[in-house]
Amino acid sequence: MSSDYTQQELMIAVASREIRDGELVFVGMRLPIIAYGVARSTHAPNARGLFEVGLMRDRAATTYLGTMGDPPNVTGALWATRMSNVMALMVQGHVDLGFIGGAEVDRFGNLNTSYVGPPEKPRVKLPGSGGGADIAILSRRWVTLMTHERRRLVDRVSFVTSPGHGDGSPGWRKRNGLLGGGPVAIITTLCVFRFPPEGGEAFVDTVHPGTTLAEVREATGWDVSVDSDVAETPPPTEAELREIRLRAAVGAR
């Protein structure tokens, strides 16, 4: 057993388990790119990564990447192309899993990366969608990773940059013409939220070792719904930890 691991390492391990073998993954930077490398080295040796800058890769880069367009991510790529071609694969339903970052997420999995406060006069101007909204709308399923703070996990985001399950009513995505399946998990520093298959509100699926449900409730901006028999998040295995640490520099800041 590996009792000695950081919060980040646990999040990476959880994220890597979201990747199934053979899948095409829209990989983000930082933690997801490490998670992708870990998955490929453990349970998903045939996964492929797609990067909106215009790249497909199999092998994960093993040196530090400041961005997905840094040279180590290009050398040996399976395809170097235009962004619109990468988006084409996603809009055709070929991207199984996407990772999206965000400043705020709400109970229905909607992400805000645009404006805190009114868009005409924002309190905080966030950088914007990038490819986030595209991934949120078009990938078959997606996951977001977030520091668990009350100001980040809010009841409803004031601006939906990247739609999750919208207003939470069943079938909201289908009714509104969104092709992809939406968010399946929010991986935080304290727990893992998941969503009902038909969409709706995030519920606590597992709580990280050493964290209490009360702590999760306290740090969450909505009245958290919890399965009665909520389990503990399985900690990183020895193999996962080894791979994570091998690759830590890739996503290091």
Partner 1 sequence: MTMAEAIARFVPDGSTVAMGCALEPLIPFAAGHELIRQGRKDLELVGPISDSLFDQLIGAGCVRRITAAWVGNVSEGLGHCYRRAAEQGVPREIEIHDHTNFSISMALWAAVWNVPYLPARTLLGSDILRTNPRIKAADGLVHIEAVRPDVTILHVQRCDAGGRAHAWGPLGISEEAGLAADRVIVSCEELVDESVTLSDPNRILLPETKVVAVVHEPGGSHPAPVQGFFKRDHALDNAYAEESRTREGFDAWAKRWIFDVPDRLRYMAMVDMDSIRITGRQLSVPANFADE
State the maximum Cα–Cα separation within the chain, in Å, rounded to a whole number.
52
Whole-angstrom distance, CA of residue 207 vs CA of residue 219: 13
Asked if 122 is part of the footprint of partner 1 (rule: CB under 8 A), the reply reads yes
The site map against partner 1 for 146-165 (x = CB under 8 A) is -------------xxxxx--
Active-site residue, selected from the candidate residues 52, 104, 240, 243:
52
Q: Does 80 bind partner 1 (CB under 8 A)?
A: yes
Nearest residue (CB) to partner 1, 135 versus 207: 135
Q: x/- string (CB under 8 A) for partner 1, residues 3-42? A: ---------------------x------------------
Nearest residue (CB) to partner 1, 30 versus 242 = 30
Residue 51 binds partner 1 (CB under 8 A): yes
Task: Estimate to the nearest angstrom the gap between the alpha carbon of 178 and the chain centroid.
Answer: 18
Could you give the strand order of the β-sheet that contains 79-80, starting from the edge strand earlier in sequence? Answer: 79-80, 55-57, 48-51, 24-26, 97-100, 141-146, 183-188, 191-194, 203-207, 225-232
Closest CA to 25 of 81, 71, 82, 68: 68
Distances (CA, A) of 85 to 56, 89, 136, 216, 230: 11, 7, 17, 41, 42
Q: Is 144 in the site for partner 1 (CB under 8 A)?
A: no
Under the rule (CB under 8 A), what is the footprint of partner 1? Answer: 24, 48, 51-56, 64, 66-72, 74-85, 87-89, 91-94, 114-115, 119, 121-134, 136-138, 159-163, 166, 172-173, 176-179, 253
Q: Which residues are catalytic?
A: 52
